[in-house]
Every structure is written in structure tokens, then in C-alpha cells.
Chain A
Amino acid sequence: MTEKAIDPLTLEILWGRLITVADQMSTTLARTAFSTTITASNDYGCVLIDADAQCVAHAHRSLPIFNRTMPYTTAIVLEKFGRENIRPGDVFISNDPWENAGHNPDITVITPFFKAGLLVGFAASIAHHADVGGAVDTNQVRDSYEEGLLIPLVHLYRAGEINQTALDFIAANVRLPTAVIGDIHAQVAANQTGAERCLALLDEYGLPDLRAVAAEIHSRSERTMRAAIAALPDGVYRSRVLVDELDQPLELVCRLEVRADELFIDFSGTSPQQPRGAINVTFTFTHGQICYALKATLLPDVPGNDGCYRPIQASAPPGCILNAQRPASVSQRHRIGAHIFGAVIQALAEVLPERVIAGSGFLVSTRVFANAAADDGISHSYLFSAGGMGASSRNSGISTVQVPALAGAVPVELFEIGVPILTRCREFVPDSGGAGRQRGGLAQRMELSLLPGFAGRATVSVHAAGQHVPPFGLFGGEGGAPAEILRDGAVLSRAEKVRHASALPLADAAATVGFQTAAGGGYGPPTTRTPEDVQADARDGLVSLEKAAALYGVVLDPDTLEIDRNATAEMRGRP
């Protein structure tokens, strides 16, 4: 049966409306959720998926990885239950890291919707939940069983009937059941919004299903991605990225081949999965990161959907750290997985110098557990703290903004209301941004202590990405400062970090735990940065006078900050 083709005007209108529907799902979830990871940090995603498990539209602020994993999980729904057995009123739930977003706090909820009894599509959401049980001291975990709750893909609702057994199991296995169950309901509500609005839209346009519009969205997006790939010279592009987030340096080896209008990317030669420490990456996450890096560099101005990724084939050998096999520990997968973005970008930098950015500082994620008294329950809070963004040909990197993830910070005042902690500081780290013609974005330093007068104690888990190895510079730019973890103001050694960083005690009001995120890399040789830009950075205290001279070759008067033109010319080796 041939579908009636959709004219370009109707397509443009419908496409925009579908994105709006996904945005409305997103709004519903953010407003009704409990966990700050969702409400403040935006660590969630909402998508509309067609009946063949292909993503049609995602919410504007939906996290890029999630936009790729939800259709994948939906395909598993079709495979596991069979299309014919999926009924109106069904809702599915899963957090299996190998079938979802790579770690179990990310729980996917998928709601199929129907028109005239036929499956039309799925509204899906995924969110980072407040707790899923498991060990707090993640640096020590050896396998995924130690990481807490695993929800296999099951019915959360069956034909409109809630699966209370599943919910009871979930509630019994997490430290914060009210928040987790509340957030699962918020996801169900968001999906319901998406399903209803999508069906109303089809009715309005007299369409029997999503097929005609999805086909157009996918084929146009695919063609455009093919054109973007074809514009690259055929050939093999490579990068090797050193990452060192736990015991030892590991290597991500990227081979990217452009063949006409298709792109093949493989990570053979990458270090093996690790026996401990939760830093292994499932391929679902790896694949999502690869797609995000390619989308942002090759086709940033087309709305995301599965058509964009059809010309891309991605692989990583099973057993390598980017395709970890069960039962590897994975809950900190982003500390390694975030570097995939940099590996892809470095491979593409030579052919797309105007489209790439230098290495970014990613983030430090911190969890605080506080007990007032043994039986008084716990209070808990997550913090995501951004590093600096890498510089580009056009701009200096933005300070403290998350790349490649998009989770945001929790306001200090709200964080302090949630847990009995006093934040001692949260500010930029001068001289952390990689020097360059365009400077890398600055990192931040944050320090926490117990709230004076609070009688209990707290444990702080600090998980830093971007340790030991500076986020890379490009085209002569310097790397950014790596991340550090601090106890009582002092930097922890590697051995101390491995042993203690994921469970640091705050026993009294004098003790502090802190960290410094990693900063962005610079772009272009620092000595080509205009003296006026260096002067402005020095005036703002982003770059010290010493570094202005030593790295940028710009000599400034210590009192007036006037540029000493002669001394600068001499430093820079020009007459």
C-alpha cells in the first residue's frame, strides 16, 4: 500500500508540531518530578518514536544520548513482547544498562499508543533517578550486581492495570522510594501527554498513523546527513585519546572512515573493560556519544531523529571498555564515555577545523548522603558541576558549561535546603582554561562542609571526569587544567582518590570536601591571541599576569594592566 506523499508545507508544520509535543512531555516531566537530577539538572529525555521503533522527534532539551537509547530500548520491546501482543494501556519500564543508557539510575518508561486498534507509535521518557540502591563507594565495586537495582524490561502497566508488584520491588530496593516512585509516575504522565497530543495531531490532519510523516522526516534527514558526509574527503581519520580516571591510563582508539556518503567508525585497539570502579561503558552509551559528536559537528541545524544516523555505522570490539560485557560495573560510565566525543572530534579536526571545539572539562558529579541520627532517615542530594567548554575557531570556551552532557547545576540555596551542608565556595578557577588564540572555558572549584550546628554526619561521593589528562587543545592551543578532588583544601593523591573519593566522610564542621572540575582546551597558538583579549582576561582575573606573559607572551603592567607593546613583541618573537 502506498502512502500519500506529504507536501513540504504540511511536513514542515507537522514536524514542528511533533517537536512541540515532545517539548510538552518534557515540561510535564520537569514540573512534576521530585529528583533534582531531573528538575534542576535536566538529566532526562523525551521522544516520540514510530511503530518501527524509529525516533521521529525529541524535546529541544532532551539529552542527546537518551535520544539514541530510547528507540533502541523500544526495538527491544517489539522484539521481546511481539508487536501483536502490545495492547492499549500497556506501559513498559527498564533500566538495564545494556539495553538503556549505560547505567541503572537512568530508567526508561515507554508508552505505546494506538489509533483504531493499531499501534501508531511510542511516547518514551528516560530520567536519571535519585537512587537505585547499590554501593555508595563506587570506586570499589566489581560488577553490576554491586550497583543495585536492575529492572529488566517489564510491563509497568498491562492494559491499563498497574503492575504493583514491579513497583513494590523497585520501592524496596532504593534508598529514596518516594522520589523514585514519584518520578516514575511523572514519566508515565509525561508519556501520556505525548501520546494524547500526538494522536490529536494525527486526527487534526486526518492521518491514519505516523508512517507518512515519519518516512519524510527520516528520508530528508538521511539525505541531508549523507550530503554532509559526502562533503568530507573520502579517507580514514584517526585519533588516540588517553583517559586516566581511576587506577591507570587507558586509551580510546578511534578509526573513522568516510566512504562516499557513508561513515564508518570503530574503536578497535581501545583498552579492555576494567574489573573494578564502575567506569565501563556499554555500547548503547558509546553509540549515543558517537552519534552526538557526529550530529553536532556535521549536521547541527537539523532537528534530531533516527534518519540522521542511517548513514553511520559504529562499532567497538566486545570486551573493550567502550563495549563492556555483563556483568561489568558501569555506574560511572560517563567518566570514560564522555571522552568518546573528544575522540570523534579529534579524528575530524583536520578536515573540519571550523566545526570542532577543543576538549571540554565535562563534569564532576557529587552525591551527598546525610544522617541526622541513625533512625532518622537520610537526606540526599546530587550535584552536577560543569567543567569548562573547549574553545573553537570562533569563540573562547564558555566557562562552567557541560559538554558533551547537558545536565545543569542545582542552585546552591536549593542544594543547602535539601541537605545539611554548607557550601564554602563555588567559583571559577583562574588560569585553568587552556591557553590559545581562543581560550578554553574555565573550570570551577567547589567546597562543602557540614552545616555548623548539625549533629549528624554526612558522606560525600565525588566522581570527577577529566582527571590527570588535560582536556585537549587544538591547532596549537594548550590543554585545560585536569580535575582534582580536595579534602580539607588539599589535593588528593591518586591512591587516596581511588581509595576514598567515592565515600568521603564529613564528620565535623571543620572538615571539607571539594573538587575542581576540568577546564576547556584552547584553540590555536596562545601567542596569536590578541593582546587586548589577554588584557581583558587578566582584568577579569581569568588569567594571571604570570600566565599572560609565560603562555601568551603578553606583558601587562601589574598596576594599570596596560599592554607593554615592546616587551610583548619581544616575548612573542616579532619585531
Chain B
Amino acid sequence: MSFELGFDIGGTFTDFALLNTESGELAVFKALTTPEQPELGALDGLLAFLAQLELSHQQLANIFHGTTLVANTLIERKGALVGLLTTAGFRDILEMRSEQRYAIYDLFLQYPPPLSPRYLRRGIRERIDRDGNVLEAVSEADVRRAVADFQRQGVEAIAIACLHSYRNPANERRIAELVRSLWPGVPLTLSSEIAPEIREYERSSTTVANAYTLPLMSRYLRTLEDQLAAAGFGGNFYLMLSSGSSALASAARSQPIRLVESGPAAGALAAAYFGGLAGHKDLISFDMGGTTAKVALVHDGQPARASQLEVARVHRFTKGSGYPLQFPTVDILESGAGGGSIAWVDKLGLLKVGPQSAGSAPGPASYGFGGAQPTVTDADLALGYLNPDYFLGGAMTLDLAASERALAPLAEAFGWTIVQTAAAIHQLVNENMAAAARIHILEAGRDPRNYAMLCFGGAGPAHAAGVAEILGLAEVIVAPGAGVASAIGLLIAPIAFDFSRSFPTLLAAADWRTVTDLFAEMESRGRRMLRAAGIAKAETIIERAVDGRFQGQLHEIQVPLPAELDAMDAEAFISRFKARYRELYHYVPEHTPIELLTWRVRVSGARTPVKPTKLPKTDADPGPACKGERRAYFPERAEYVMAAVYDRYRLGAGMTLPGPAIIEERESTIVLPPGMQATVDAYGNVHLIRARV
């Protein structure tokens, strides 16, 4: 027997999923995260999980790992002291950003500090021009002086980011060579390796962020791998990347920044998988937690991806207030809407929810930890949606009176009853989350009404029906595996690596030989990585794309290219390009030349398919799963009604539940409003749809 293991270290829990690669069967497990040394909790958890299954480390063929450690290092600014070597005259690129304020009326706005402080940013005399010509060779004296100074200043990692290095990496490589000879072993990141794309600020930011997380992640991964080996694990160890694919740790360890969204990316993959089981290829993956809600889109069964992202935003999730990173990522939209989000009245006398959150300390008023401000969880409790005696499966009791006390001042301000206030909060937070999803879908040139929503655990299932209603979605699917979705996603992610190189050219004047060489270089690196992972050449999938625009524009759109450029039909490409452009923006500027900028390759290999666990088929009557009823308030009825309460663990395939109803599981609660019904499919997905009248 052979097994694959996925484990995802989150802020609170470390989740495990184990796949039997022969039977396709899945097992899951959770352990508490140990934030100071997360690898310890993970290793102990794994031991317990394997013991429970009577397996040993030796039986694991592959381990796949996702972690929030990189994101946390950036958010908490606990990374390395980074020295930056850059083109002389440009050391402030990192701190000048785009020179724009992200909030127009706020005269007190702040930016996160640059991850390499100014005194450690050094200009090196060297210059490459826009066509890749070396105008000035690297000044060795400048490098020597800078490195000597870095050593004296206690620098822990070095980033190298020079102008136009995406076009010609020679000078960066020369600097790296000198640094290595002067300071063997110092962790190094080159912009031409981590993000060889045009736009110096974003590229430098990515390079420095990688250097910033590199020493810590290297230590962490080494400990993890050593301990796993010591416990008897002899297989391959993979890391989950933000792009939604896994790479061998040996290949990815020099680029830890690419792990920054590994958990959410795995979650989106799991959503695509469960959505597929339920018969949907276009999905909104919806993950609502304590402080934020994360939304990802799945188009045609694949998580939507973006070629850049921004992390560690300092201002209310506002774009422009974080660190930009330039590499492919599953496109995750995060908004400040969670169970802990606080409701308040603004200057205009209007109700607001979030983005301030009570978090877990003091937490919602109902937790009884001293929180006095009304939160979304308090509203959900007052509405009767949450069971005060079955929160976290009964591990915690919620205090309804405390929630109502916290809601009272808002009720008074608006002249509403307590429960009307709670309903308003519930509706408003739903609206906030829907807004995030709506923008995302419209920007992709799609219609929200063709999508189904998929959510796992957390606060999502209590809000999913409401959010779907606002977006006009026909169906909500609440998948099983609450809380361990990311771990399951790790077992689904293809083993793949994404490469990109900027080489701007007009389509009509393209030097296809150079482009072919660029692809060949990227693809051979990819094939090497896959070979190391034991994937045969025949099973390797190569996908090519290019970012293009009409000449003179700044924003590019991504268009796939055929696997062989020889086979490329320019006319067909142009019409594909224009079709995609029209889909996004309606109007196509005809007679304007097309310019191609960044060439992309994704090299991937297939995985053992996960076989979903099937539930036994039962009658449509949900009676056997019903555990009682309680009062719940639904704004569409404007009164409390009695809602049946079901135990999710007792639901059988084929059951149909009429709304209003509440379905409880340990870590989450599904709310089924009146006028809707729920059905349970063979895989344990609960589908919420509008009931036929």
C-alpha cells in the first residue's frame, strides 16, 4: 500500500489529509498549531494521525505541505535583515512605490515599511538598456564595498534587483557571482530568477520579500525534512505554491515567497474538486473565517489565477497599501468580513460592519472573554442561527444575553428591535462579501448568475444562502471536510512550476527565434524539476501563454499559445486575442498593433485522482437526521419561526430538507432560509436551492 499526505499549517489548526493512492480513499485529521515552532505541532500531529490509522512514516510515498508561515512573516514583519543591491541611482525604487496615495482623502495614510531599510540598499554601477544591451559592466569595487558593509551591519540575506534584468540577467548574475565569492553561503535572491518581468518596483518588491523570508523558511524546511526523515519518511517532499501547484521542496526552497498564498490556493483547488463532484465547473469558492472572508473563482473547473498579488496590506484591505508580488497566484480576494467583524454606526448615521474585528481575543461578546462590541457572530446567535450549546461541537458555550447586550446600543440608535438589528448586520456583512465576489466576476468578463457557490466550514455556511441570494446564484454547495479543505486541496494540486520572462516585442516584428529559445530554456528547467519528482516525460503537460496588449496600453491580458510556436497561426492568434479583449472590455481598438510582453510557461504532471467518499443512499425523508427545532429569525418573514435542526453527521445521500432549517456540524452551521430547500448528494455535499413552489 502506498499513501500520500497533505498537511496545511494554519493560524489555529494544522490540518492533515491522507490519500490511499491505490484505493483513492481519503482520511482527515486536525491538530492545534504551535505558533512559535509550527513544525513541532505538525510533526506531533502527524504522529498521532498515523498512529490512529496504524500506519508508519515509511508508508508515505509523498508529502505535500502548505503553510501560512510566509504570509505571517510578512504581516508580523519577523523576517531577515535584507540588503539590496540595485542599479546605482535607483536604490529608492523600493520606497517610492507608485508615488500614489491609495486613499484620496486620508492625509494620515501610511505604507508598510520597505522590507530592506534604506541604509542597506546600495547602488552598484552597472546598466542594461531596454533592449538588453550591457551599457555598463558591473563595478566590482561597488559590490565589494557593499558586501563588506552588509557583513558589518549584520545582514542576513541579500536581494539583487537591477534595471531591465528581465531582459538580460547578465549583470545580476555577475553581482551574484561576486557576492558568493566574497560571502559564501549568504542567502541570495536575484530578481531575474524570482520575477523576471518588466516593472522595476514590483520586481524589486518581490525579490526583497523573497530574501526577507528565505533564511527563516530555509531553517524551518530543513528542520521539517530532517525530522520527517528521522521518523522514517523516505519519499518526496513537496511544497504548495500560491499558483495552485506543488513543487519539490528542493526546487522551491529558494523561492519561499511563492508559498505566500499556499493555504488559500489549496482551498480553491479543493473547491474546484468538490464543485466538480457536484456537477459545477463555474464556482465561487467562499471561505469566511473569524476576521476575513476569502473569495476565489473557479472557471471551467480551474481556479482563476492572477499574475500578481499584494500582501500584508496595512489599511483596511485597500489595494496599494501592501507589498506587491509578481508571480502567478490563485486569485484570492480578501475582505474584512468575518465572524468577529464589529458592527458600528458611522458619522452619517449608517450601519457598518468591519473591517475592525474582535478577533479571538476579546472575541465576540457572546464568547464571554470580555468583548463588549457587537459582532457578526453575536448577530448570528441572536438570530437563532447558532446553537449556544453546540459551538465548536459543544467545546464552548455562547452567551446569548451578552450578544443581546452588545447589540442593544445599535438597536436603540436605529429604532430597531434587537433581532432586527441582528438581521441588518447579517445582511450587511453578506452584502460586503457579495460585493467582493461581484467585482471579481465582472472583471473577468463573466456573469455571476452562471456560478454556483461552494463553501466549506467556518462562518461561511451560515451566510452562504444570503450571499448567493444577493448575487443571484441558483445554488450553494456546502462541501464536506469542513476545516480541512486546504489539506485535501494539497492532494489534488498538480505538480507544476510556472515560469515567465518579459521580452517585449510587437507581434508583427517578433523575433520568434528568441521567443522559442526563451520557451526552451523555461521548459527544460520545468522538465528537470518534474523528472526529479519522478514524472515521466510522456506525462508532462506544457502550457504556454503570453501577456499582450494593444501597443501603448499598460495593462495586459493573458492569451494561451500553442505548444509549438511553429504551429502558431498569427491570424488565429490575433482573433483569439481580440475575442478575449472584447469579452473583457467590449470595445476593440482595431488597426492598433498588438504588443507582446511576458511569455509564460506552466510545466505540470498529473496526480493520482482522489476518490470521493460516498455516503450510503437513504430515503428523501430527513427525519432520522433531525435533532429538534429552535426559533430563528428570517428577515423575509420579519418574525421568528420554528426551524428544524439537523445533525450533518446523520445526513444520508438523497435526503431533502425543507427550509427554514439549520444543519449543525462541529465547526460550522448551515442556515437554510424559508423558501429554500437542501438536498444531500452521494458525496455528502449539501445543496441549497430555491424550493420549487
Contact = CB atoms under 8 A, between A and B. Distances in A.
A101 to B, nearest CB: 15
Given A23-B439, A40-B554, A539 B119 contact: yes
A384 B351 contact: no
- Scoring B117, B352, B550, B585 by chain A CB atoms within 10 A of each residue's CB, the highest score goes to B585
A185 B586 CA distance: 11
A274 interface: no
Most chain A CB neighbours (cut-off 10 Å) among B95, B123, B201: B95
Contacts of B135: 422, 452
A516 interface: no
A38 to B, nearest CB: 8
A63 B428 CA distance: 28
A12 B118 contact: no
B185 interface: no
B107 A33 contact: no
B93 interface: yes
A224 B550 CA distance: 45
A395 B108 contact: yes
B442 A304 contact: no
B99 A300 contact: no
B410 to A, nearest CB: 11
Interface stretch (A48-56, A240-248, A402-410, A458-466): A402-410
Contacts of B432: 16
A371 interface: no
Contacts, number: 208
B98 A425 contact: no
A17 B438 CA distance: 10
A518 interface: no
Contact of B504 (A296, A395, A417): A417
A8 B352 CA distance: 10
B320 to A, nearest CB: 8
A408 B348 CA distance: 31
Interface string A261-276: 0000000000000000
A8 B133 CA distance: 62
Contacts of B123: 427
B667 to A, nearest CB: 29
A178 interface: yes
Contacts of B587: 32, 185-186, 188-189
Given A301-B105, A444-B92, A411 B201 contact: yes
A304 B427 CA distance: 24
A441 to B, nearest CB: 11
Interface string B91-118: 1110111111111111111110000011
A108 interface: no
A401 B351 contact: no
Interface string B424-468: 100110011001001100110000000000000000000000000
B589 interface: yes
B439 A24 contact: yes
B104 A60 contact: yes
Contact of B163 (A182, A395, A413, A428): A413
B477 to A, nearest CB: 24
B222 interface: no
Contacts of A386: 96, 99
Given A12-B352, A16-B435, A392-B108, A407 B100 contact: yes
A189 B110 CA distance: 34
A424 interface: yes
A185 B100 contact: no
Contacts of A220: 348-350
Contacts of B105: 64, 295-296, 299-301, 304
Interface in B69-95: 88-93, 95
B443 A32 contact: no
Interface string B586-624: 110100100000000000000000000000000000000
A154 B324 CA distance: 42
> Which of A61, A407, A422 has the most CB atoms of chain B within a 10 A radius of its CB?
A61
Contacts of A406: 100-101, 104
A179 interface: yes
B107 A296 contact: yes
A302 B104 CA distance: 11
Contacts of A13: 427-428, 431
A382 to B, nearest CB: 12
A562 interface: no
A28 B585 contact: yes
Contact of B90 (A304, A408, A412, A540): A412
B99 A31 contact: no
B130 interface: yes
B530 interface: no
A423 B92 CA distance: 14
Contact of A403 (B90, B101, B550, B592): B101
Nearest to B430: A13
Contacts of A221: 348
Contacts of B439: 20, 23-24
Contacts of B349: 8, 220
A422 B111 CA distance: 29
B96 A444 contact: yes
A73 interface: no
B513 interface: no
Interface in B44-90: 88-90
Contacts of B586: 189, 192
A297 B435 contact: no
B579 to A, nearest CB: 15
A271 to B, nearest CB: 27
Contact of B199 (A63, A414, A423, A426): A414
B442 A409 contact: no
A427 B108 contact: no
B602 to A, nearest CB: 24
A510 interface: no
A416 interface: yes
Interface string B163-181: 1101000000000000000
Nearest to B442: A24
Interface in A443-496: 444, 451-453
Contacts of B102: 61
A289 to B, nearest CB: 13
Nearest to A20: B435
B550 A182 contact: yes
Given A30-B555, A413-B163, A426-B96, A182 B592 contact: yes
A42 interface: yes
Interface string A11-39: 11101110010011001101111111001
Interface string B400-443: 00000000000000100000000010011001100100110011
B554 A39 contact: yes
Given A402-B101, A413-B200, A300 B553 contact: no
Contacts of A413: 130, 163-164, 166, 198-200
Nearest to A30: B555
B111 A27 contact: no
Contacts of B550: 34, 182
Given A395-B110, A411-B199, A540 B555 contact: no
Given A20-B435, A32-B585, A179-B552, A416 B347 contact: no
Interface in B540-556: 550, 552-555
Contact of B553 (A32, A403, A424, A428): A32
A80 interface: no
Interface string B124-162: 000101100101000000000000000000000000000
8 contacts: A12-B350, A12-B351, A355-B107, A384-B99, A413-B130, A413-B166, A427-B90, A452-B129
Q: For the complex of A and B, list the 5 residue pairs with the smallest distance between their C-beta atoms, beginning with the closest.
A: A425-B89, A39-B554, A408-B100, A540-B118, A34-B552
Interface of B: 88-93, 95-111, 117-119, 123, 127, 129-130, 133, 135, 163-164, 166, 198-201, 346-352, 414, 424, 427-428, 431-432, 435, 438-439, 442-443, 504, 550, 552-555, 584-587, 589, 592
Given A220-B350, A422-B127, 5 more contacts: A63-B104, A179-B552, A386-B99, A395-B110, A451-B129
